[in-house]
Structure 1
């Protein structure tokens, strides 16, 4: 079955960072959208409304609640992520950034075996289909500055401050 024929279902969860729209394709979590997010498609692309008590939303909601409560630092969800092979390498690399820390785009490029590809890493990072779960907010500029974030710089700042507070990580950077 192609993505165009897939059963697409969505739910909206409340979070400390605003409503989160979770989208599942053929029963597997495929997207997480924040309000005012860059690259957010029109709502009619989210499919039919689903029930948060159904799979895969129930487990995603449970893990997100644990994350926002400071009780969990990792996600273990089956994801259906569509992207180029390079984008998928970047997204996999994002999941290896330790909770409460940040790395630069260049450090992430080196980590995934693509030194010198920091711009391409930044573009792939910006196309992450499941922000927060795949923690693209943990990537910063080479000088430590908060650079673009699809969910907005204020939300990125708040997510990083939250993680650092929970982890007691201070200003640790570059820890793969």
Structure 2
């Protein structure tokens, strides 16, 4: 029988506390304290104790928040539908300091699945439900018109993360009202 134990720890970042969760396979969650969908996939009975995977994730975050691009990805184990998993795999391919749009992800996904079309809104839902934010870089996804829309951690954190990565912010703007997914 597989070990289903989930371990958690808190990481103190310059943008606020982050809850990390991992099972025996990989990181299952990374949430800013108080964000939308905070710890919504965390099972009851999670143990507050650092594990080797959580140690790796903290090391990754230390490098990231120092303003450098980490040269590794800790083991990941986000749970979601095949569609969400496919979207998250595309997110992992967005280069550090770069952005893409929901529409571009939808086009890539349609091509991968030999479909004529894929809904950018459906992609937005999958991006918004990413349980391992920052490492699976959903903050690098923007609206086609340059809107910094749809970050469950909040638009202010999205701006901070992109700025930390030295992203050219000149063509982006914050939407007038909250549109986090």
Do they superpose with TM above 0.5?
Answer: yes
Equivalent residue, structure 1, for 2:148: 146
Alignment size in residue pairs: 165
Q: Is the 8 Å Cα contact of residues 101 and 172 (structure 1) preserved in structure 2? A: no
Instruction: Work out whether 1:90 is the aligned partner of 2:122.
Output: no
Structure with more helix by fraction = 1
- Summarize the alignment of residues 1-176 of structure 1 with structure 2, pairs less than 5 Å apart: 1=1, 6-26=4-24, 28-41=26-39, 45=44, 47-51=46-50, 54-73=51-70, 75-113=72-110, 115-164=117-166, 169-171=167-169
**Per-residue Cα deviation, 1:51-96 (whole angstroms, up to 9, x for no partner):** 3xx3111111111101111222454111111111110010000011
In structure 2, distance between residues paired with 1:157 and 1:45: 33
**Per-residue Cα deviation, 1:105-156 (whole angstroms, up to 9, x for no partner):** 0011112236441000000001101000000001111101111211011111
Runs of 4+ in structure 1 over 6 Å off: none
Gap change, CA 1:47 and 1:96, over 3 Å in 2: same
Gaps of 5+ in 2: 112-116, 172-181
Bigger CA drift: 25-34 or 128-137? 25-34
Q: Is the 8 Å Cα contact of residues 102 and 144 (structure 2) preserved in structure 1? A: yes
Equivalent residue, structure 1, for 2:176: none
Bigger CA drift: 5-14 or 65-74? 65-74
In structure 1, distance between residues paired with 2:34 and 2:72: 24
In structure 1, distance between residues paired with 2:169 and 2:109: 23
In structure 1, distance between residues paired with 2:127 and 2:120: 10
Gaps of 5+ in 1: none
Q: Is the 8 Å Cα contact of residues 11 and 50 (structure 1) preserved in structure 2? A: yes
Q: What is the Cα deviation at residue 44 of structure 1?
A: 7.5
